């Protein structure tokens, strides 16, 4: 029960940080709803030391809490991760899902589409570099690419043979994220995807040709995914051509109804120009595929920048695509044949237009020459509109009535009826003939490229990557064809379900909802090796599951499966124990009189002090002793402007702040108890020992509030550093508004830390210095804009004052402000007061009178700072950024960062 209480407290704290919900009762209610799941997560992916909380677990908690009332949703219904780990077991022959570790659904979709291409899966699983090549790999990018490939191999191996229903891609994802200094993954999906493919190409290049980046003929990524096209244009009467390589081929969506139309538009540049601009002249450039890759990927451009709104928007237009596409008409070798067909298509379309116009002329407003039901005739050239709901043959009331005969004889009526019947029959025959001609021309158009001569190069749809949402945010998943079982499967993070072509069409074509395909992956029908499973070299039989893995990866997966089984056993034991404790709580057992002679004499709790030494607990293992000593020595290193040892590890922070030994010891145990660090038998043994020692800690031996507070302080310390470094980077890049916002938050949070101890935060002088620089520059900019004759510039100046400068000034006044800060504040006030004596428009006077009182009086207003975007706080990232930033400003400002 103590372990559950400990984890609940940690989860509450992390949920508050991630979700922004400050009401602990609300978060506690959410945890109570998911109590069973929390028993599990304590033994699954949770690590106290690294202070991580899986975003999906957080989502699961909040969704469960949200639906617990009103909607009566069953707990875990429809969620990716179920309550019991017994339900986390992979079903027989069911593919493995991939956990979403925070805006990584795009990664899952891309990786699943590649993994379920057997030829690519074999390449990754069998990836190997010789010792000679490894010795030559000295650059950071080469080492990073090799590390990424190793993580991808492990991930693929688990997807092949794991007993888990889904696996965790965190290690591979973190390597990708470290290449970008942002946590907003969804805003950079295209960039992340291209980076992923570039790394794979570079890694395979090392395996193919050692360290020769020029020769890529033997690179399997190039051989699989890259083709060439010929670009031809007419220049001074001569055809000029050049050959270019392509990977993911981009296609425009706007202006087209299906994939063939997109390809036609991409092949002939002139047609695209005539569709999307008013220009009558075009370059006439044509593109023809000269070599198609085995895996043909089309990138559908479903996002465009709206110039009027100043933001990207998603194109929701419907676009159809087939399961099998024939590429013959786009090949360079078929230029003459395709040109002839395109001429025929144009002629048939013109003919079709004429026929449709004739048909419309015969049928408007009703069947020409027919009666409207009242016996009044209408000729083919007479297009009198029908005015419903009236059925009489008369004009609208505002039009004067036309002259009419006074009497009609039976003989005359008979003659008119005869004429009308004949006319009607003639018109109907004409309409039928037109419809038949239209059908004939339409069939000719549809079959223009369907004869055998242009149906030789077929590609079959392998995967469809779908985006649901808007340009700024959304969710990604993939439909992938199961070639072995002839079915479509939907891969939605941890959920893998059987699907249908009809469901794929509904989600992928677009036009009806905000979900649509953004990437199509086709594979050649003529190359069976692409989807062929591994076979045994001796017997020729297909290898499945673990048998298809190299021996080293087979051992890795078996170890993970053994650990998973242990997790299941531990969860069952803990769950049964929790149920027993609940029963004992409801029905307490009467206390029996104790025999004083047999009463145990517990050892008194060891008195805890705040004195920290370089020696770990006496009963620690060599691994604990080594890590404890290493970090203690690191904490004794001198802090310089370019480096701060506290950023490298939480224990360094604890050592330097004289944290209690009990806090340091538990933190060390939590580090070794993290199963993500267990890569071999020795590490697993150490992890188990650490976990056993943690379980021996009794509630009376550890003040959990104190423990959590130390880790909260360290998390805030890293946040302050991240805000500070981001602010300095933004300042150097000329983004003064963004820099001021980060620095203001850094100063505010750092003040809270410094009140607890000098070594708990950062020296405020560096933050204050650049906060003043930003304030002065931003105020000068606002003053210049305010005097501009352009109304937009004036509005921008007012916005800068209201959203940036005034809130920051108010915070400075409320804090223990320095004389330098006061001087800047007075400078700003003097600047705007000087406008009072100047002649200006009434509108400017009104705007000035609105914000000037707030500039002068900072006491009567609630200060609300604009929340900065989330920042990355990984120790490696912060350390490298600190060095780079401080070196860049060292010549002008030498300040020791404490």
- Phi/psi for 300 (5° steps) reads -85, 125
Q: Does residue 30 sit within a domain?
A: yes
In the numeric block, which tokens belong to residue 687?
């992890």
Judge whether 465 and 65 are in contact, CB under 8 Å. Answer: no
In the numeric block, which tokens belong to residue 539?
């017997």
3-state SS, residue 458: strand
User: Active site residue: 34, 58, 76, 105, which one?
Assistant: 105
The residue segments making up the domain with residue 20 are 1-42
Judge whether 509 and 315 are in contact, CB under 8 Å. Answer: no
Per-residue exposure over 5-36, b if at least 16 CB sit within 10 Å of its own CB, e if not: ebbbbbbbbbbbbeeeeeeeeebbebbebbee
Question: Within a 13 Å sphere around the CA of 252, how many CA atoms are in the beta-carbon half?
Answer: 16
Higher pLDDT among residues 584 and 414, named by residue = 414
- With tokens 């549809």, the residue in question is 446
Across the range 717-738, mean pLDDT stands at 89
Residue 831: partners with Cβ closer than 8 Å, 6 or more residues away: 779, 783
Least confident stretch, 558-567, 590-599, 769-778 = 590-599
Across the range 599-624, mean pLDDT stands at 52
CB atoms within 10 A of CB 494: 22
Higher pLDDT among residues 484 and 398, named by residue = 484
Domains: count for the chain: 1
Active site residue 576: no
End-to-end CA distance of the chain: 40
User: Active site residue: 475, 625, 831, 879, which one?
Assistant: 475
Q: Does residue 11 sit within a domain?
A: yes
Q: Give the residue among 537, 534, 559, 556 at the shortest CA–CA distance from 547.
A: 534
Q: What is the DSSP string of 265-302?
A: HHHBHHHHHHHHSS-S-----EEEEEE--SEEEEEEE-
pLDDT confidence bin for 123, thresholds 50/70/90: very high
How many degrees, rounded to 5, is the angle at CA 200 between CA 219 and CA 111? 125
Task: Please give the Cα distance from 540 to 532 (Å, whole number).
Answer: 12
pLDDT digits (tens, 9 = 90+) for 414-440: 888 888 888 888 888 888 887 888 777
Q: Does residue 36 sit within a domain?
A: yes
Question: Is the pLDDT score of 491 beyond 90?
Answer: yes
Task: Please give the Cα distance from 632 to 611 (Å, whole number).
Answer: 13
Q: CA quadruple 463, 466, 471, 473: dihedral positive or negative?
A: negative
pLDDT digits (tens, 9 = 90+) for 205-263: 888 765 555 667 788 888 999 999 998 887 777 878 888 888 889 998 888 899 998 99
Q: Does residue 34 sit within a domain?
A: yes
pLDDT at 140: 83
Q: Does residue 407 sit within a domain?
A: no
Active site residue 475: yes
pLDDT digits (tens, 9 = 90+) for 170-180: 888 888 777 66
The strand pair at 97-98 and 166-167 is best described as parallel
3-state SS, residue 613: coil
Q: Does residue 535 sit within a domain?
A: no
Residue 485: partners with Cβ closer than 8 Å, 6 or more residues away: none
In the numeric block, which tokens belong to residue 301?
């451009």
In the numeric block, which tokens belong to residue 723?
């805000």
Question: Is the pLDDT score of 84 beyond 90?
Answer: no
Q: Does residue 661 sit within a domain?
A: no
How many degrees, rounded to 5, is the angle at CA 522 between CA 517 and CA 526? 165
Mean pLDDT of the chain: 75
pLDDT at 825: 87
pLDDT digits (tens, 9 = 90+) for 820-840: 888 888 898 888 888 776 777
Judge whether 634 and 648 are in contact, CB under 8 Å. Answer: yes
Count H helices, E strands: the chain?
A: 29, 15
Q: Does residue 13 sit within a domain?
A: yes
Q: What is the largest CA-CA distance in the chain?
A: 134
Instruction: Tell me if the bond preceding 389 is cis, omega within 30° of 0.
Output: yes
- Phi/psi for 533 (5° steps) reads -75, 165
- Phi/psi for 464 (5° steps) reads -125, 120
Least confident stretch, 25-29, 55-59, 262-266, 559-563 = 55-59
Across the range 349-365, mean pLDDT stands at 73
pLDDT digits (tens, 9 = 90+) for 41-72: 333 333 332 333 333 334 333 433 333 333 33
Burial of 71 (0-12, 13-18, 19+ CB in 10 A): exposed
Judge whether 564 and 572 are in contact, CB under 8 Å. Answer: no
């Amino acid at each position: 029960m103590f372990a559950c209480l400990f984890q609940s407290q940690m989860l509450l704290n992390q949920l508050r940080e991630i979700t922004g919900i400050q009401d602990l009762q609300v978060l506690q209610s959410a945890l109570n709803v998911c109590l069973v799941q929390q028993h599990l997560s304590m033994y699954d992916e949770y690590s106290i030391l690294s202070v991580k909380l899986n975003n999906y677990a957080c989502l699961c908690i909040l969704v469960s809490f949200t639906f617990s009332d009103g909607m009566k949703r069953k707990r875990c219904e429809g969620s990716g991760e179920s309550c019991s780990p017994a339900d986390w077991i992979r079903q027989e022959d069911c593919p493995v899902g991939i956990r979403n570790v925070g805006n990584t659904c795009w990664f899952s979709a891309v990786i699943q589409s590649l993994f379920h291409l057997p030829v690519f899966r074999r390449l990754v699983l069998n990836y190997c570099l010789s010792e000679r090549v490894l010795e030559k790999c000295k650059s950071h990018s080469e080492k990073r690419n090799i590390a990424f490939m190793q993580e991808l191999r492990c991930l693929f191996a688990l997807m092949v043979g794991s007993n888990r229903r889904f696996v965790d891609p965190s290690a591979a994802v973190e390597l990708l994220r470290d290449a970008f200094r942002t946590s907003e993954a969804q805003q950079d999906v295209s960039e992340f995807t291209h980076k992923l493919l570039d790394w794979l190409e570079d890694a395979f290049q090392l395996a193919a040709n050692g360290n020769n980046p020029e020769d890529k003929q033997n690179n399997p990524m190039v051989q699989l995914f890259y083709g060439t096209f010929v670009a031809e244009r007419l220049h001074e009467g001569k055809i000029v051509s050049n050959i270019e390589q392509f990977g993911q081929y981009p296609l425009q969506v706007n202006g087209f109804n299906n994939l063939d139309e997109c390809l036609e538009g991409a092949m002939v540049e002139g047609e695209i120009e005539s569709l999307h601009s008013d220009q009558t002249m075009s370059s006439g450039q044509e593109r023809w595929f000269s070599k198609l890759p085995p895996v043909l990927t089309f990138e559908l451009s479903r996002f465009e920048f709206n110039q009027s709104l100043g933001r990207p928007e998603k194109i929701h237009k419907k676009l159809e695509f087939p399961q099998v596409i024939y590429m013959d008409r786009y090949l360079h070798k078929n230029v003459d044949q395709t040109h002839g067909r395109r001429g025929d298509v144009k002629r048939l379309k013109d003919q079709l237009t004429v026929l449709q116009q004739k048909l419309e002329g015969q049928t408007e407003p009703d069947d020409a020459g027919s009666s409207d039901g009242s016996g009044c005739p209408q000729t083919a050239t007479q297009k009198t509109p029908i005015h419903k709901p009236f059925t009489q043959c008369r004009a609208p009331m505002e039009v004067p009535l036309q002259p009419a005969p006074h009497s009609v004889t039976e003989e005359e009526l008979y003659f008119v009826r005869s004429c009308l019947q004949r006319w009607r029959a003639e018109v109907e025959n004409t309409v039928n003939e037109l419809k038949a001609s239209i059908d004939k021309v339409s069939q000719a158009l549809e079959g223009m490229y369907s004869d055998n001569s242009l149906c030789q190069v077929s590609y079959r749809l392998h995967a469809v990557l779908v985006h649901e949402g808007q340009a700024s945010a959304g969710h990604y998943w993939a439909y992938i064809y199961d070639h072995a079982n002839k079915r479509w499967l939907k891969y939605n993070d941890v959920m893998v379900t059987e699907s249908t072509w009809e469901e794929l069409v509904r989600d992928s074509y677009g036009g009806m909802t905000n979900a649509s395909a953004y990437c199509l992956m086709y594979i050649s029908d003529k190359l069976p090796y692409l989807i062929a499973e591994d076979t045994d070299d001796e017997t020729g039989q297909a290898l499945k599951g673990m048998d298809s893995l190299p021996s080293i990866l087979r051992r890795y997966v078996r170890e993970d499966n053994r650990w998973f089984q242990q997790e299941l056993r531990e969860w069952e034991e803990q769950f049964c124990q929790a149920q027993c404790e609940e029963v004992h709580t409801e029905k307490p057992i009467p206390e029996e009189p104790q025999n004083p002679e047999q009463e145990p004499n517990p050892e008194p709790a060891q008195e805890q002090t705040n004195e920290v030494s370089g020696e770990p607990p006496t009963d620690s293992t060599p691994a604990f002793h080594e890590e404890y000593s290493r970090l203690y020595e690191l904490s004794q290193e001198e802090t310089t402007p370019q480096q701060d040892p506290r950023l490298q590890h939480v224990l360094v922070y604890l050592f330097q702040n004289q944290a209690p030994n009990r806090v340091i010891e538990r933190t060390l145990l939590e580090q070794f108890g993290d199963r993500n660090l267990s890569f071999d038998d020795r590490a697993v043994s150490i992890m188990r020992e650490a976990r056993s020692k943690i379980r021996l800690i009794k509630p009376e031996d550890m003040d959990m509030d104190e423990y959590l507070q130390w880790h909260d302080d360290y998390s805030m310390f890293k946040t302050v550093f991240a805000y500070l470094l981001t602010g300095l980077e933004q300042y150097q890049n000329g983004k003064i508004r963004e820099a001021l916002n980060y620095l203001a938050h850094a100063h505010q949070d750092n003040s809270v830390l410094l009140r607890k101890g000098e070594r708990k935060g950062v020296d405020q002088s560096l933050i204050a210095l650049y906060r003043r620089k930003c304030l002065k520059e931003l105020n000068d900019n606002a003053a210049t804009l305010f005097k501009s004759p352009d109304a937009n510039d004036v509005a921008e100046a007012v916005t800068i004052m209201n959203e940036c400068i005034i809130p920051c000034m108010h915070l400075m006044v409320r804090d223990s402000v320095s004389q330098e800060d006061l001087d800047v504040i007075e400078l700003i006030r003097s600047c705007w007061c000087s406008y009072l004596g100047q002649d200006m428009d009434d509108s400017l006077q009104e705007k000035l009178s609105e914000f000037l009182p707030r500039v002068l009086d900072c006491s009567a207003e609630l200060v609300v700072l604009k929340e900065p975007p989330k920042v990355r706080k990984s120790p490696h990232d912060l350390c490298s950024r600190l060095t780079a930033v401080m070196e860049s400003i060292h010549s002008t400002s030498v300040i020791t960062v404490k």
